Chain A
Amino acid sequence: MSTKTENINTGAVLNNIRFPSNDVMLDLNNLKKVYPTPKGDYVVLEDLNLQIRKEEFVTIIGHSGCGKTTMLSMIAGLNPISGGNISVLGKHIKGPGPDRGVIFQSPSLMPWMTSLQNVMLGVNQVFPDATKTQRNDIAKYYLQKVGMEDAFNKRASELSQGMQQRVGIARAFAIKPKVLLLDEPFGMLDSLTRGELQDILIEIWNKEKITAVMITHDVDEAIFLADRVVMMTSGPKAKIGDILNIDFKRPRTRKSVLEHNDYYAYRKHLIDFLEH
């Protein structure tokens, strides 16, 4: 146990570690976000530096309102950057684009479309040169992967929250993004459904290995899914507080993770950070 604690403490040093540039997928550089208010500027994020490697799964935890979602929507390009920059594969991002797929907190499916049409909306956009059949096959493949093969033609408004989020996952993977951004995608689900969807997500991710950044409030979820857990300090002027490497082998099962010797040390580290 004691050796493990030492090992974890070195995590704090990882904060400023720079990776070789050809290994970096996503690079946040001195990122800053300011909201002007009548009482003066409110600084949400400041001097935020974070590098995320190719084929890495990173989860982000921090207190509510610390700016996690702001950061994620800035990466998605949906929220303007006040200072610093964000680059994907060395190129600065300008606005949103399908190279960064997003799974939103609410499933955000178009309720008037069927599950297939919802996935096709993205596929049509990203693969304009493919034939209709090919695009259909792509959409159906991912819907099958998330266990929705019986509901291709069901309208999104007829599906349960959990089912809708499955389609949301299929939609995000089907456009083959370089980076996948997940904003507390399972936050609104009951714990049983949440577990199911975590399994589905990690199974499909193991195949595709798309660099993923996921916000979560759930410490166990953060550990189960991630290669690294990024802890953000409380706002205002939030930044990266600490980073924890999760050294479990992949593919992981929930059982093997829970039974792993380091699991509780990781968990304690995260909870200590959140409670300090």
Chain B
Amino acid sequence: MKQSLTLGKVANFIGLGFLGSLKDLFTGNLNKEEFKSFLRKTLVPLLSILLFIGLWHLGAKSLYNIEANFKIEKALNDQGPEAAEALKACIEAGTSSCQPNTLPSPSQVWDSYKSLLRDHNIIAADKASFIEKTAALNEKRLAAGKDAITYTGRPSFVDQIFRSLKTVFAGFLLALFIAVPLGIFIGLSPTLKSSFNWFIQIFKPVSPVVWYLLVFMIVKTLLIDSNEDSSFTISFISVGFCSMWATLVNTAMGVSSVDKDYINVAKVLKLGNFQKIFKVVLPSSLPLIFTGLKITLSVAWMVLIAIELLAQSPGLGLFVWEEFQNGANDSNAKIIVAMFVIGIIGFLLDRLMLTIQNWVSFDKTDAI
């Protein structure tokens, strides 16, 4: 009982409170009010999810029919009635070569999801056996002072998710380490503020694509001697530069708008600059800094897809682009799978930030 209580608290804390009431429903200890709130918090979202899937299914079906009819009519006009009949039979038989290429249905997407997981398991097993096979050889090579042989097979979907997460976190950390200190300095000094203002105003609205190109120009030259693949470096730096503005602006604002009373206390006590910043200014602007960081993380995740695609850096963005170029029968369904994965991870990242914010911030009144 105690265990589940703390679990419920954790669920509430990270904004998944409805899980708690779900548990109460099964254990049967709900009164009328609680039942109502259970309906509102759990059943209604579940119903809306079902409704969404239903509409999606119907929409996909009608798009499928439009595309199929158009194909058959085209065959009839171009090649005559026999070809049209053959095509119709082919479509109805479900042969993959003649399927209309359109929005995939929910069941197709689910199948693709499962096939991507199967694919991952195969690749993971392959990789494991490769490592096992080469272990002895690699030991010898390392002893002889040569480089170890590494697995260079195709990355699986799951590998690409982790690669994307890695890029986003590297970019996010870069943004954090540039924007927070810079924001503090700008917020503290009106001179710095006016000298940086034009810079912020001009660079803030620049699109991710242009940031990528800019970073590409610079990093390409800086790494001119290196044979390493620079796509990861370029993409994480681009992600960082694209996403840091929200944190920069919020930090500067938070620091410059610290309650005047706190500043007066610091003045009366003659706190040194270091003490003033770390004991008064930073803690009091923490809520705003975190709001900025939250926006930064979600922007980072959003621009990542476009930037990976441009940089040809392995990850979800590249996965989507390659599937689109691929044009295989289940490519569209895989793209939708990637879309959901991107959305869900984005949501989880947002919750993660909120949890950290609630944990470090003094202001507990912020509603989830």
With A and B bound together, what is the CA distance between A121 and B278 in angstroms?
Answer: 12
Is A67 among interface residues, defined by CB-CB distance under 8 A? no
Listed stretches A94-102, A209-217, A255-263; interface member = A94-102
Interface size for B (C-beta < 8 A) is 19
Please judge, given known A-B contacts A110-B284, A112-B284, A157-B363, whether A78 and B262 are in contact too, CB under 8 Å: no
Is A9 among interface residues, defined by CB-CB distance under 8 A? no
Contact call A121/B279, Cβ cutoff below 8 A: yes
| B17 CB, min distance to chain A CBs, angstroms | 23
Contact call B264/A108, Cβ cutoff below 8 A: yes
Is B142 among interface residues, defined by CB-CB distance under 8 A? no
Closest to A156 in B: B362
Interface of B is mostly: helix
Q: Which parts of B236-278 form the interface with A (CB within 8 Å)?
A: 259, 261-262, 264-265, 267-271, 275
Closest to A123 in B: B269
| B159 CB, min distance to chain A CBs, angstroms | 42
Contact call A125/B271, Cβ cutoff below 8 A: yes
With A and B bound together, what is the CA distance between A175 and B280 in angstroms?
Answer: 18
Please judge, given known A-B contacts A106-B261, A111-B362, whether A100 and B283 are in contact too, CB under 8 Å: no
Q: In which size bucket is the chain A interface?
A: 20 to 34
Give A99-117 as 1s and 0s: 1 = Cβ < 8 Å from B's Cβ atoms: 0111010101011110000
With A and B bound together, what is the CA distance between A102 and B261 in angstroms?
Answer: 11
In the assembled complex, which residues on chain A have CB atoms less than 8 Å from the CB atom of B265?
A: 102, 104, 108, 110, 121
> Which one of B267, B268, B270, B283 contacts A112 once the chains associate, using CB atoms below 8 Å?
B283
Contact call A98/B362, Cβ cutoff below 8 A: no
Contact call B280/A96, Cβ cutoff below 8 A: no
> Which one of B264, B269, B364 contacts A125 once the chains associate, using CB atoms below 8 Å?
B269
Q: What would 13 more interface pairs be, CB under 8 Å, given A110-B284, A125-B271? A: A77-B267, A77-B268, A97-B270, A98-B268, A102-B264, A104-B264, A108-B262, A108-B264, A110-B262, A110-B265, A110-B280, A110-B283, A175-B269
- List residues of chain B with CB under 8 Å of any chain A CB: 259, 261-262, 264-265, 267-271, 275, 279-280, 283-284, 286, 362-364
Q: List 24 A-B contacts (CB under 8 A).
A: A76-B264, A77-B267, A78-B264, A95-B267, A96-B267, A97-B270, A98-B270, A100-B268, A102-B265, A102-B268, A108-B259, A108-B264, A110-B265, A110-B280, A110-B284, A111-B362, A112-B283, A112-B286, A113-B283, A121-B265, A121-B269, A125-B270, A125-B271, A175-B269
